[in-house]
Structure formats: C-alpha cells, structure tokens
Structure 1
C-alpha cells in the first residue's frame, strides 16, 4: 500500500536522533549536577574546617587579644590589627578576614571599606561563645564563613574572629573535579551522538523508510479493513495466542475483544473450532473445513502466516454458512421425498406387474385377494401412524420413511406409547427437519446389521421429546460431542460418523432452546434424544 500526499514535519530518524540527543544532554547535565553537588559538599567540609582553624589562629594571636581587650576605646586598634587580618587572608587563601563586635559591627577587616558596617550574624553561635561555620552572603556573594569567639579571662565574648571564602563557580567546581571527568563527559557525549545516529539509521531501515505519519496511517487502514469486512478474521501465533480478532470473528465465535492476547482454548471458543485453530504437528498446513457450532455453521479456511521466511502463526478466515446449511437441509429433505416417491413407484410397479400377469392368466380371484392384502397392509401402516400422530405433515413423513427404510432392508417402527398433537406449521417444519435427519442417519447405520431396525418415539406430554433408536454399531463416548460439530457432507470413517444432518439437528434444537444428546442402547446401537421445552400443540 502506498500512502501519498502526507505532510512530513520531520523524518522518524531525525526525530529519534533529536530525542536521543536530548537524552544524552539530560544524562550529561545530571552527571554534571551530581559532580557539582559532590564538589560543593567536599569544598564545604574541607574549607569550613580550614576557615575555623584560620579564625582560631587569628583570635589566639597575642596582639589581637591585647588590642581587643582595649577596644573600642583604642582608636588605633583597626590600624594595628589590619596586618593580622591581611596575614590570615594571605596564609589561608580566604576571601575576607574580619574582627567583629559581639553585635556584628565590623572593627577590623581585610577590606577597609567594610569597617563600621553591620553584619547579621544569623545562625552563628560565635556571639554565644561557640565556634561555627556555615553559609552566608558576604557583599552579595555566596560564601563559606568560619567564626570563632574571642573571650575575656572571665569567659565573656569580647569579639568574633570571622574568616570567609566565596564558593567557586560551577565551571571551577567541574574543573576541580579533575580533567578526567571532563574527558569522560566529552567521550560519553561523543559516543551517545554516534550511537544515536546509528540507531536512527537502523530504525529507518527496519521501518522500510516509512515515517511516523505513514506508519500511523497504515495502522489505521489495517484496523479499518479488518473491522469492516464481513468475513471473520482470527490470527493465532506460534504460542497459540490470539493476535488479531476482528468484529465479525468476535460475533461468529461469541467472544469479546478482550480475547486478544489470550490462548485460543481459554476464551470460550467452541472446541471444534479450537481444534482447527491450534492443530498439532504436520496438520498445521492449510486447511478448509465446515464446522457446526452450537448456534452456527461456519466455513473456515486456515493458512500459515510467515514473516521473513519464518512461520509466525496462522490466519483463519470464516464465514457464516448457517443459512446455506439450512438450504442444504431443505434440499436433503426434498431428496428424501424424491427417494421415497421413487421407492413407492418401484413398489407399485412391481405390484402392478403382478396384477397384470394374474389378469392375463385369468386368475381374477387371486387378483382380488392380492389387492385386498395390499390395501390392508397399506391401511395398517397408515393407521399405526395416524392413530398416534395427529399432525398430518409429521405422519406423512413417517409413512414415507417407513417405505424408504423397507427398500433398504430396515424395519422402521413407531413406538406404541408415541403421541403427537397437531403442530403449528412453522414448528411442524422444524420437527420434520429433526425427525427426517435422525431417521435417515439411523437407517444408514442400521443397514447390514443382523436385525436391522429403527424405532421412533415421540412424546408431547411435557414439551416435545423425539427419540430415535437404531441397530447400528453405536457411537463411541469420545465422539458423542464431535458428531454434532463435524459439519461435513461426507460421512467420516469413524464409528457413528454423521454428516451435516446432525449439525442441522443441533442448530434447529438450539433455536428452540432445546437439547440433543446421544447414548448407547442396551441391546446395541445408538439412541438420539431431542427435547424441546415450551412447545405448544393444538391438543
């Protein structure tokens, strides 16, 4: 699919490169921030102790103590002590050294312009007689300050020796962290740029050169196509997990959109469909099959899905063939009627040939006896059915099936306890479908049995119950569910195999909210039982 006329602001590779560069920049900034924080902490710890040491040394100088004891009465104190504070600055590398009055007034300073200024001691404890170091603003610069009290012989605070050093700049801190750190940061930035470029090229190659808007458009087209087509589509990966499930498939399989990402056999899909979706071994090849679920007849087509020459799973399409199956059932019914008429025509032709021969021989008494016997036998068959079955359509079906079964050498009998009142025409049509398919299957499997026979029992005393027993080989227990879901027109080579007829039986039964099941007959054969609840008759 080619997407044209899509405005592109920036290529995917360029966007990814820009994003990677941003990530590299953030990492570098974070590393630099950590380095600055560590350097600042180390500077504070090391230089803070140094500032206190310098302040203590200055405070313990004899001339400082002598002059401070006479201040502020000594007007020459600041001049005499100025060399001492300058010496403290020179020896320690500090920015500023001062001697403060207990109230914070600057008496002596290495910066003469500050003499007489007032300093806010803030959190300092020096005015209480305790050494202290910490952060403070000195002339608008963030600085590290160490302060030591100068005490009188009586323990009173005479003054405060203060030494401060401004914090270095960020660049100075980074430089102080060592040249190798700068080398590592530069090397990391370079490698990040190269890796980002190569990765962006690789992404562009794997996306077939498509950009973000094109990929989004293709994804939108894919979703629109999948969810708008009438056929159901379900994709299963090699781990038997559903990866694609469009709206039609959700409706046909009776599952929700949350089934995507789950195993096929754990979302409530009919077992017969699951067996097709996740076959094992060599049977994973392409396959087309018609499967009857409890409510639908589905035509499924499974094909292998590959990518880059490797198998990635299967894709199965499905179509609802319930109506087609119903039409096939009707065609089967018409075929059954045709076969019945053919059988009766054959029977009547033989009887007419016999009567014609007797007439030519002049055996008129024998003709009369034969016609009487045929009439009585036909009446017995008709009476045996009509006395118990009041619905004319169902009665006609049983009479016709009796003749058809007799042609195959199978005796079809209606159980004496049977009873059926007239039915609604629509219901009668469904009952004929149920009964016709069950009898046809029973006759088919009974042919060749030692005593071939089929028994039909109908009871409408509580809803409607139809029981058909045959003299065939029976149905193995492990196939009793599968025979209703095979949905194939030819009978499989397994005991109890059935075609689309039994699938139609289950569909019609489910439409009336009923049930259908199969069990063994004690004397051999199978017994199919259909129960329809809430069925009203005209009785």
Structure 2
C-alpha cells in the first residue's frame, strides 16, 4: 500500500474513533437535556393540576371509577402539556385515575419519592420494563394537608430515536472530517514523498537494510563526520581500527578523546590520496571526501584500511631494491676494473696490474670480512654491504663494530631487522650529509632472548624540542614535500620493535645514538 493510502486509512480510523466518541457524547448530552427539559415540564404540569381548586375539592372523597370529572381533568392536562401520561392518586398513593387504565388501584409511591413528605419530586423509574421520567406533586387542601397525589411524565426516548435526532449533524460532521482528512493525507503524503525523494516506506526500509549490509560487509573502514566533528556513521572495521567505543555514533571526536592524528585525518582537507597515519601499532591509510549539497555542508566521509603488513613489505622491498641497485652498481664497477686491468696488460704494465688488483681486492675483502666475520645472517650481511657501498659513494665511513655478533635466525626476524637497520642507517646518513668526515658505527648484539641494534653517528644530534616527537608518525626534521612524505621510517621501526615486545630509544652522545631492541 502506498504512503498516501496508509495515511488515508489512518485518518479514517481516527475520524471513526472521533465520530464514535462524538455520538456517545451526543447521546449522553441528549439524555441529560431530556431529563432537564422534560422533568421540568412534567413537574410544572403536575403542579398546575394539583393547584386546580376543583381537583382539590373532589380528590379527598374520590374513588376509582367514580365520576368522570377527575379523568377529564387529567386527560386535559396531559393533552395540553404534551406528556405521555397523567395519574391521580389518593393520599395513600392508590391510583384513582390514570392514562393507563391498568394502573387504577395500584400504588404510585416510589422509594425515592419525597411526595409523602409534602414536597414535589421528579425522577426516573422502570415501569413494565420501560424507562420512564415522572414528576409527583402533592395535592394540598386549604389547611395545607395532603389529600392526594398528581403524577405526570413520559418514557425516555430510545437510542435509535436519539441517533435519528443527531444523525443529520453527525453526518455533516463525518463528511467534513472525511474531506479534510483525505485532503490532509494527500498533501502530507506529497510532502513526505518530496522529502524522501519519492520513495515509499518499504523502499526506504529496503534501502536502509541494503546500506547497513553494504556498510558492514566491506573490509574497509568507513566513517562519516558532521561539520561539528560529530560521528554520524561508522562501520565495524572503522570502530576496530580507530579503537572507538561501540556507542561512538552521535558523539563528537572531542568527547571520544581520539588520537590527534585521527582527528587530523578525519577533519582536515586532503590534498593527496592515501594519507598514512600510525594508529596505535597499525599503519592506516586514509582517504577523506567532503560531502556537500546545494544548501549546506554535510561534513565528510572517510574510508581507510589497515596497511601495516603491506607497508612493512614495501619497506623490505625497497631495501631489497636498494640492495639490487647496489649490486648492479658494483657489477659496473667490477667491469670498469676489468677494463682497467685489460688496458694495463695491453700496455704491458704488469707491475701496475699487480698493484691495482691488490688495492681493489684489499678494499673489497676488508668490507666483506668485516661484515661476514660478525654477521652470520645473510640478509643482514647483504644489507650492510649494500649500505656500505652507498655510504662510500656519499663519502660516509660506515663501520660495523668489532663486538657485533648476529647468528642466523628465522625469516620473520630477518625481515624485521632489515626494516629497523635500514631505516636507522638511512636516517643517520641523511643526518650527517653536511658533516665533515661523516661516520656511522653500527653495533648488533645477539643475546639469549633479544637482539640489540645500536646506530651511532657523529652529526649534530637531535634537538631537545624534537626529542619527544622524533618517533611520531609524520614528524620529520627533513624536507616533507618529497613524494610520499616523510616521518614514517622511525615510526615504522618503532612499530616493528614494539610488535616484537621491544622498543627504540634515542640519546645524544657526540651525535645521535639510536638503540633498538627486538625480542626473539
């Protein structure tokens, strides 16, 4: 059924209930009016007849069926007043004459009647199963002594008669109410349809169910925030990733006390897609889209997903790519060395060939021996050799301390160490790029239950104001306008360490010294 039809049925039901109430009230009011008007008329007619001098003279000695004067007087009063019956009785209440002949000789006294006390009385009684309104008035002689009783009245109208009486007005009221209700239902339905884009309630319910299923079925987090920073919508993934309470919908970000980076991601304009933030120990990628209509600003909708594992893999892939690039560079360098040796041989400079080969082999073997003698894990050894080559090209001396020790481990530990060591060395090389005689010293200690990595440089160190924020995601002391942004290396390194029940600390000791611990 359409919305207009539902409204019309509801209006008709309301009209029916109201009309039934009006009819009930009208019936009660009609009955009360009948008692008030007819009771007064009956009492007035009875009092007028009781004051008749002839009646007062004849009734003391009157008896049933003795003369016609009293019946004539009673009938005259009945016909003149328009009442249903008039009854005359002696002072004991025995009927002398009555409009109903069967009542002659019976008693008209009623338990509630006050006529025996010499006072007029009006009330209702049941006569032969019929509801009757009567008035009883005493007949007094000249001495004020009651010598008889006059009773007059008529039957209550039936319910059908009362309904027939109020039917015209009720019918007019019903017609007006139906017309107004129908018009109101149509207008209200049109307005509601305009506000609901022409959809019926069933369609709105289906749309809501579809939206809920879609919202909670996707694997990405979805959250809608109003212009006043109030959460209007959030699916299960969003609540889990942002660590929000289950009843977060309807509350403001301030009330929920969310992390500052979450508030920044949900409320600030996004110039580039896929902004990354560190939420707890997860790397979350945000995409915010403002929502506006022609009339007002509705806030924004933000989608996000967990990219922790993917980010770590990208970091490891970058390290592997850097290693491959260094090996490729070394290949070209070796080719150049071979060309030089070939040229010296062709020039028959055999002593120069020997000195050249000894110099190249000594420099290469020294680096390889320094790393391989202390680092048994192939992945880390290859990383350090590659970083040493990069450092050499940049004029930086990179050393592995003689007390370093690292045995072979599992694949996950090697990946985590690659992320931590690679980020720490890259940050150290950037920090001492402008230092005279730059130097980086790496120490790796493989203990029973944990691995400790110390990277120390001879740069200017970390400023005091940056010491507390150095591990905050997005914070960087370097240029942040480069592609992809900065401020993720140390944050990711700390994330890896904390996921392995470790941590990273920093201190200034003739330069910056980073100490990372990872539980085995």
Q: Please say whether Structure 1 and Structure 2 have the same fold, judged by a TM-score greater than 0.5.
A: yes
- Measure how far apart 1:330 and its partner are: 1.4
Q: Retained in 1: the 8 A contact 2:396–2:439?
A: yes
5+ long unaligned stretches in structure 1: 1-9
5+ long unaligned stretches in structure 2: none
Equivalent of 1:312, from 291, 298, 301?
A: 298
- Measure how far apart 1:20 and its partner are: 3.2
Equivalent of 1:191, from 165, 176, 180?
A: 180
Tell me whether 360-369 or 232-241 shows the greater mean CA deviation: 360-369
Asked if residue 492 in structure 1 is aligned to residue 492 in structure 2, the reply is no
Q: Retained in 2: the 8 A contact 1:230–1:248?
A: yes
1:298-377 maps to which residues of 2 (within 5 A)?
Answer: 298-307=284-293, 310-338=296-324
Asked if residue 169 in structure 1 is aligned to residue 162 in structure 2, the reply is yes
Distance in 2 (CA, whole Å) between partners of 1:337 and 1:303 is 39
* Structure 1 residues 224 and 365: CA distance shift in structure 2, 3 A: closer
Asked if residue 15 in structure 1 is aligned to residue 6 in structure 2, the reply is yes
Q: Retained in 1: the 8 A contact 2:371–2:400?
A: no
1:83-232 maps to which residues of 2 (within 5 A)?
Answer: 95=84, 109-115=98-104, 124=112, 126=114, 137=126, 161=151, 163=153, 166=156, 169-170=162-163, 172=165, 187=176, 189-232=178-221
Match of 1:483 in 2: 472
Partner SS for 2:4: helix
Distance in 2 (CA, whole Å) between partners of 1:120 and 1:457 is 126
Match of 2:489 in 1: 501
Partner SS for 2:472: helix
* Structure 1 residues 377 and 290: CA distance shift in structure 2, 3 A: closer
- Measure how far apart 1:331 and its partner are: 1.0
Distance in 1 (CA, whole Å) between partners of 2:442 and 2:122 is 109
Distance in 2 (CA, whole Å) between partners of 1:507 and 1:143 is 98
Distance in 2 (CA, whole Å) between partners of 1:317 and 1:154 is 104
- Measure how far apart 1:500 and its partner are: 3.9
Equivalent of 1:432, from 394, 418, 442?
A: 418
- Measure how far apart 1:334 and its partner are: 1.0
Q: Retained in 2: the 8 A contact 1:456–1:466?
A: yes
Distance in 2 (CA, whole Å) between partners of 1:479 and 1:207 is 52
Partner SS for 1:483: coil
Match of 1:5 in 2: none
RMSD: 5.8
- Measure how far apart 1:329 and its partner are: 1.5
Distance in 2 (CA, whole Å) between partners of 1:193 and 1:507 is 67
- Measure how far apart 1:192 and its partner are: 3.3
Taking structure 1 as the reference length, what is the TM-score of the superposition?
0.66
Distance in 2 (CA, whole Å) between partners of 1:39 and 1:285 is 79
Residue by residue over 1:231-259, the C-alpha shift from the partner in whole angstroms, topping out at 9 and shown as x without a partner, is 44333343434444445545544557644
Residue by residue over 1:384-414, the C-alpha shift from the partner in whole angstroms, topping out at 9 and shown as x without a partner, is xx4xx88776577567656655654556677
Q: Retained in 2: the 8 A contact 1:21–1:196?
A: no
Partner SS for 1:305: strand
Match of 1:234 in 2: 223
Distance in 1 (CA, whole Å) between partners of 2:470 and 2:21 is 67
Partner SS for 1:480: coil
Residue by residue over 1:157-209, the C-alpha shift from the partner in whole angstroms, topping out at 9 and shown as x without a partner, is 9979574562571453587xxx7x98777655533332323333444455555
Partner SS for 2:288: strand
Distance in 2 (CA, whole Å) between partners of 1:431 and 1:480 is 23
Tell me whether 396-405 or 346-355 shows the greater mean CA deviation: 346-355
Q: Retained in 1: the 8 A contact 2:239–2:246?
A: yes
Taking structure 2 as the reference length, what is the TM-score of the superposition?
0.67
Distance in 1 (CA, whole Å) between partners of 2:199 and 2:162 is 48
Residue by residue over 1:285-343, the C-alpha shift from the partner in whole angstroms, topping out at 9 and shown as x without a partner, is 88542334334433333223344565433233334433432321111221343466578
Distance in 2 (CA, whole Å) between partners of 1:370 and 1:48 is 137
Match of 2:264 in 1: 275
Residue by residue over 1:258-288, the C-alpha shift from the partner in whole angstroms, topping out at 9 and shown as x without a partner, is 4444435555765434322222xxx378854
Distance in 2 (CA, whole Å) between partners of 1:139 and 1:466 is 115
Distance in 1 (CA, whole Å) between partners of 2:67 and 2:293 is 90
- Measure how far apart 1:430 and its partner are: 2.0
Residue by residue over 1:47-79, the C-alpha shift from the partner in whole angstroms, topping out at 9 and shown as x without a partner, is 6666667667777777778888779xx334897
Distance in 2 (CA, whole Å) between partners of 1:96 and 1:481 is 111
Q: Retained in 2: the 8 A contact 1:418–1:458?
A: yes
Distance in 1 (CA, whole Å) between partners of 2:72 and 2:502 is 114
Residue by residue over 1:131-166, the C-alpha shift from the partner in whole angstroms, topping out at 9 and shown as x without a partner, is 776665556555655667889999999979574562
Partner SS for 1:484: coil
Distance in 2 (CA, whole Å) between partners of 1:104 and 1:427 is 121
Q: Retained in 1: the 8 A contact 2:276–2:284?
A: yes
Q: Retained in 2: the 8 A contact 1:234–1:317?
A: yes
- Measure how far apart 1:468 and its partner are: 5.4
* Structure 1 residues 286 and 446: CA distance shift in structure 2, 3 A: closer
Q: Retained in 2: the 8 A contact 1:290–1:299?
A: yes
Partner SS for 2:486: coil
